[in-house]
Amino acid sequence: YETLWRRCCGRRPEPRNCRSRIFDVVGPVGLWQTTTLNIIAGLEDPTSGQVFFDDDDVTNVPPERRDIAMVFQTYALYPHMRVYDNIAFGLRMRHTPTDEIERLVQEAAKAMEIDHLLKRKPRELSGGQRQRVALARAIVRNAHVFLLDEPLSNLDAKLRVTMRTELKRLHAELEKTFVYVTHDQAESLIMSDRIVVLNEGKLQQLGTPEEIYNQPANEFIAGFVGSPPMNFFDGQLQNGGDQWLIKGEGYTCEFTPAPTQRLTENASANVQIGVRPEDIEVLPSESPHRPSHCCGTRTVGQ
Any domain includes 288:
no
d(CA 193, CA 209): 7
Choosing from 201, 220, 239, the residue where a domain stops is: 220
Same domain, 102 and 176: yes
- Distance, CA of 87 to CA of 111 (rounded, Å): 13
Task: State the Cα angle at 270 between 246 and 231, rounded to 5°.
Answer: 65
Same domain, 214 and 238: no
Q: 178 and 42 in one domain?
A: yes
DSSP state of 56: E
Q: Do residues 93 and 235 both lie within one domain?
A: no
Q: Are residues 262 and 115 part of one domain? A: no
Which residues in 218-251 are b (16+ Cβ under 10 Å) and which e?
eebbbebbbeeebeeeebebbeeeeebebeeeee
pLDDT in tens, 9-57: 444 444 444 567 888 888 887 767 888 888 889 998 887 778 888 888 8
- 241 contact partners, CB below 8 Å, separation of at least 6: none
pTM of this structure: 0.77
Looking at the fold, whether 266 and 149 belong to one and the same domain comes out as no
For the chain, how many structural domains are there in total? 2
Which stretch of DSSP H or E encloses residue 174?
helix 157-174
Task: State residue 48's pLDDT score.
Answer: 75
When pLDDT is averaged across residues 127-151 and rounded to a whole number, the result is 87
Q: Is residue 294 part of a domain?
A: no
197 with 252, same domain: the answer is no
CA dihedral 152, 154, 159, 165 (to 10 degrees): 0
pLDDT of 97 reads 95
Summarised one tens digit per residue, pLDDT across range 193-246 is 999 898 887 889 999 999 999 999 999 999 999 888 899 989 988 877 777 888
Q: Which class for 284: exposed (0-12), middle (13-18), buried (19 or more C-beta within 10 A)?
A: exposed
Give the pLDDT confidence score for residue 8 in this predicted structure.
41
User: What's the confidence (pLDDT) of residue 5?
Assistant: 44
Q: What is the pLDDT of residues 86-124, one digit of tens each?
A: 999 989 988 999 999 999 999 999 988 899 999 999 999
Peptide bond into 284 cis (omega under 30): no
**Structural domain boundaries enclosing 249:** 231-278
Q: Say whether both 184 and 240 belong to one domain.
A: no
Helices (H) and strands (E) in the chain, counts: 10, 12
Helix axes 127-139, 98-111, angle to 10 degrees: 130
